[in-house]
Amino acid sequence: MAFLHPHIKTKLPGPKSKRVLALDEKYVSPSYTRSYPLVAKSGRGSFIEDMDGNVFLDFTSGIAVTASGHCHPRVVKAIQEQAAKLIHMSGTDFYYPQQAELAKRLVNLFPGGKGSGKAFLTNSGAESVEAALKLARWVTKRPQIISFLGAFHGRTMGALSVTGSKITQKERFFPLVPGVTHVPYPDPYHTPKGMTPDDYTNFCLDWISERIFKTIVPPSEVAAIIVEPIQGEGGYIVPQNSFFKGLRKICDAHGILLIVDEVQSGIGRTGKMFAIEHTGVTPDIICIAKGIASGLPLGAMIARGSIMHWTTGAHANTFGGNPLACVAATATLDLLDEGMMKNAAKQGEYLMKNLQGMMRRHSEIGDVRGRGLMVGAEIVSDRKRKTRAPKRRNDIVDKAFRKGLLLLGCGPNTIRFAPPLSVTRAEVDMALKIFEACL
């Protein structure tokens, strides 16, 4: 069934949802971080229907995953047809065309070095990051990694080691993988006192080349710098382009690999295939997952030309590049090429412009930023002092849910807008209206 607008007809959560919530509470790990009790039954395009027939406008895309919308008929058809032919044959031990064909397509998307790289297919973002860290160590024969405060790269031990997001994600999990140094990430909104965004960008670059490399870690022992082009879980923070140019320079000066984690920002979300393309910088390795297969578990670590030459057996997995996920990814990439990526740029601009307009009417919005359909609105209690208001942010997200709009927070006090790339202008208008009613 297709939906045209949100529609809440029961008290939330409704009775059928409540039954699932009780089951979940009894049997599912309590470590998950649900913000509100949405129990999804079906999805179509930008809408989710819950167990009780309530309809929500989904501006989360199941956390930046359903790039082509929920259950796009072409993605569904590709999965159904493939499921009837071959569900699994393990790309580690055997061959099948879907994996090689998708790898070719991904390699051809690599900014700068089109066509000359190789892809390792995974099942998740964390696994793509693990693969990148391992490849960087393997290729450079160096042990150290530089990562950023506020970064989120996943929860497996390697990915968690380079993460610098929330202490609950790390508490009681030490010792992590050694050899990681976290350095500041230049948030242009929250600059240290007296610094302009330019100053802060230079400060962060100097921190690596003048402080860390001269006092803590010799650059000759650093395998890679891993960075998100836009910090996702950290708060949808968009550094200046000069920051990435500076990182590239540092890497080139010392034979260090530049890994960009595009797990959240990649696959058209920002209006370009990869967010790093907005900066003009060519990385050595790109990690992707989330949106690539519109909801099937798939990720990839794509490496530039000469890098991926590790030996047979150095790295592998059982499920990565599963045929069902590969055909879902191919259908998703087709849809992006046929207009959804352009749509992301167009609707994103419209969304951001309108949120910026709203900022003039509501002082509790301190900042609006982003690229394409990766847009964040930071909630503050004092705009002049930029005082973060995390509780108020949570209240707004909860209120939006009760009015039929699914949003999620990121960072301590930011609300993220990450609808499917298929979102229409009418849906953006609906979301804006509900959001403003929550302020």
Q: Which C-beta is closer to ligand PLP: that of 162 or that of 423?
A: 162
In a 13 Å sphere around the CA of 390, the CA atoms on its Cβ side amount to 5
Please state, in angstroms and rounded to a whole number, the distance separating the CA atoms of residues 344 and 374: 9
Q: Which C-beta is closer to ligand PLP: that of 261 or that of 367?
A: 261
Query: For the chain, what is the largest distance between any 2 Cα atoms, rounded to a whole number of angstroms?
Result: 63
Q: Which C-beta is closer to ligand PLP: that of 78 or that of 260?
A: 260
First to last CA, the chain: 31
For 92, the token pair is: 């580690």
Q: What is the helix, strand, coil percentage profile of the chain, to 5?
A: 40, 20, 40
Q: Which C-beta is closer to ligand PLP: that of 54 or that of 128?
A: 128
Which residues, 6+ apart, have CB-to-CB distance to 377 below 8 Å? 355, 359, 365, 367, 368, 414, 415, 417
Please state, in angstroms and rounded to a whole number, the distance separating the CA atoms of residues 232 and 234: 5
Residue with tokens 């989360």: 60
In angstroms, what is the minimal distance from the CB of 284 to ligand PLP? 17
In angstroms, what is the minimal distance from the CB of 123 to ligand PLP? 8
Q: Which C-beta is closer to ligand PLP: that of 168 or that of 215?
A: 168
In angstroms, what is the minimal distance from the CB of 193 to ligand PLP? 29
Is there a contact between 397 and 412 (Cβ–Cβ < 8 Å)? no
In angstroms, what is the minimal distance from the CB of 86 to ligand PLP? 24
Position of minimal CB gap to ligand PLP: 125
Strand 257-261, strand 414-417: pairing: unpaired
Please state, in angstroms and rounded to a whole number, the distance separating the CA atoms of residues 416 and 372: 12
For 185, the token pair is: 């990430």
Q: Can you give the binding site for ligand PLP, defined by CB under 6 A?
A: 124-126, 129, 152-154, 228, 232-233, 261, 263-264, 289
In angstroms, what is the minimal distance from the CB of 266 to ligand PLP? 9
CA distance to 15, 157, 161, 171, per residue, from 175 (Å): 44, 9, 9, 10
Please state, in angstroms and rounded to a whole number, the distance separating the CA atoms of residues 421 and 272: 11
Q: Which C-beta is closer to ligand PLP: that of 231 or that of 354?
A: 231
Q: Which C-beta is closer to ligand PLP: that of 228 or that of 367?
A: 228
Please state, in angstroms and rounded to a whole number, the distance separating the CA atoms of residues 247 and 237: 17
Q: Which C-beta is closer to ligand PLP: that of 129 or that of 307?
A: 129
In angstroms, what is the minimal distance from the CB of 176 to ligand PLP? 16
In angstroms, what is the minimal distance from the CB of 402 to ligand PLP? 25
In angstroms, what is the minimal distance from the CB of 428 to ligand PLP? 23
**H or E stretch covering 163:** none
Please state, in angstroms and rounded to a whole number, the distance separating the CA atoms of residues 368 and 356: 6
In angstroms, what is the minimal distance from the CB of 231 to ligand PLP? 8
Q: Which C-beta is closer to ligand PLP: that of 267 or that of 365?
A: 267
For 41, the token pair is: 């039954």
Please state, in angstroms and rounded to a whole number, the distance separating the CA atoms of residues 428 and 417: 10
